[in-house]
Amino acid sequence: MARIKDVAKEAGVAPSTVSLVLNKKGYVSEETRLKVEAAVEKLNYIPSEMARNLSLQRTNIIGVIVPSISHPFFSELAEALETELYSLGYKMMLCCTKYKENSERKFIEMLKRQTMDGIIMGAHSLDVSIYEGLKEPVIAFDRYLNDNIPIVHCDHCIGGRLAAEAFLQHDCHHVIGIEGYQGVHTPANDYHRVFHETMRQHGVTTDILEMPWNAFTYEDFLATAEKLFKEYRDIDGIFGSDMAIASCMRVAAQRGYRIPRDIKMVAYDGTGMTQTGIQPITAVRQPIEKLAAIAAQKVVSKVKGTKDNLPWVLQPRLLKGETC
């Protein structure tokens, strides 16, 4: 493996000159530039990123923490983050916290070890004390960590209202909201709050079914759906995340309910999965790509110490499907 000094020797110049040529910095005479380029070519020289990193004190890697990545919301998020980070010249290192005992703590540790330049944090952690006093660049994605860590998120109050309005057009009487574990401190809790408030203002009975913490597999959602139909009999509406609704559709069908005739359903998130299958799902869509692009740009701004004028909050919208 050729090193910079091999190239220097081959070209008959000093390593520093090779460095200048490679990084197009300073003034180098045409003549030596050509000599260096020829040497690079001849030796098939490729600079070591590790050495540059140490010298420049950065890695151009951004860490992304999510609970799961097989879950459609996070898989769309991760894809959008990777795409945006790539276009900003960064690579994405992924950490899924689900099932991994304090992998998040280790990841933060890696941030301090300068394994990455910054982090976008979107996991459902209960203990966020590790973020206290953290000097490194962190952006939260739809998650409250502490007063110093800004949050990119969707306006969930509007989201909750859009969902409620969808149900209210079809006079339901009893609607169940499937919620994530409420111990997680997130702006997303707003959409349920506003949803129930709005529904009750219009005289609709609502109930809440809370899911266990960090439950993201389809088995988790199917189990919750089973539980819902066991506990509640006279219902005519269900509101929950994409996966929750897709699971309820299965259980509802098994029990002979017709959708939307017998039960209306509205999903929150509006990932691609709501658009396939026998019935496309009526859903409140979070602008995942845009949220991701903003989160990526914000974290890079923080790493570089620059400013941007991007908004922190974006609007969701309703996708009309066939379930409500």
278 near its own copies, judged by CB under 8 A? yes
Report, in Å, the least distance between residue 123 CB and its own copies: 13
Q: Which is nearer to its own copies, 206 or 271 (CB)?
A: 271
Q: What, of DNA, its own copies, none, does residue 276 touch, CB below 5 to 8 Å by kind?
A: its own copies
Distance of closest approach, residue 289 Cβ to its own copies, in angstroms: 10
CB-count burial class (<10 Å; 0-12, 13-18, 19+) for 175: buried
Per CB under 8 A, which of residues 194..223 are in contact with its own copies? 217-218, 221-222
- Binding mask of the shown chain, residues 220 to 239, with x at each position contacting its own copies by CB under 8 A: -xx-----------------
When asked if residue 262 is in the footprint of its own copies (CB under 8 A), the reply is: no
For residue 139, the surrounding DSSP H or E stretch is strand 138-141
Helix (H) or strand (E) holding 179, with range, is strand 174-179
Residue 32 interface partner, choices DNA, its own copies, none, CB cut-off 5-8 Å depending on type: DNA
> Closest Cα to residue 248, out of 256, 235, 238?
238
* Residue 299 sits in the site that holds its own copies (CB under 8 A): no
**Where do contacts with DNA occur on this chain (CB under 7 A)?**
1, 3-5, 12-17, 19-20, 22-23, 25-29, 31-33, 45, 47-48, 50-52, 54-57
Nearer Cβ to DNA, position 27 or 307? 27
Q: With the C-alpha atoms ordered 96, 100, 102, 108, is the resulting torsion angle positive or negative?
A: negative
- 110-149 residues in contact with its own copies (CB under 8 A) are 110, 112-115
Contact 58, 302 (CB under 8 A): no
Q: Which two tokens stand for residue 316?
A: 């969701």
* CA–CA dist 125, 104 (Å, integer): 8
Report how far apart, in Å, the C-alpha atoms of 309 and of each of 294, 297, 300, 312 are.
10, 10, 13, 9
Mind spelling out the 3-state secondary structure of 266-307?
Answer: EEEECCHHHHCCCCCCCEEECCHHHHHHHHHHHHHHHHHCCC
Contact by Cβ (8 Å): 274, 324: no
Residue placing its CB nearer to its own copies in the complex, 171 or 262: 262
Work out whether 272 is an interface residue with its own copies (CB under 8 A).
yes
Cβ at position 248, least distance to its own copies in Å: 9
CA distance 157 to 194: 6
Tell me the closest approach of the beta carbon of residue 197 to its own copies, in angstroms: 29
Nearer to its own copies, 94 or 314 (CB): 94
- Segment contacting its own copies by CB under 8 A, of 17-25, 31-39, 99-107, 182-190: 99-107
**Polymer length of the chain:** 324
**Cα–Cα dist 82/92, whole Å:** 6
Question: x/- site string to its own copies, residues 40 to 69, per CB under 8 A?
Answer: ------xxxxxx-xx--x-x-x------xx
Q: Give the footprint of its own copies on this chain (CB under 8 A).
A: 46-51, 53-54, 57, 59, 61, 68-72, 75-76, 78-79, 82-83, 86, 91-96, 99-100, 103, 109-110, 112-115, 217-218, 221-222, 243, 246-247, 249-250, 252-253, 259, 271-273, 275-280
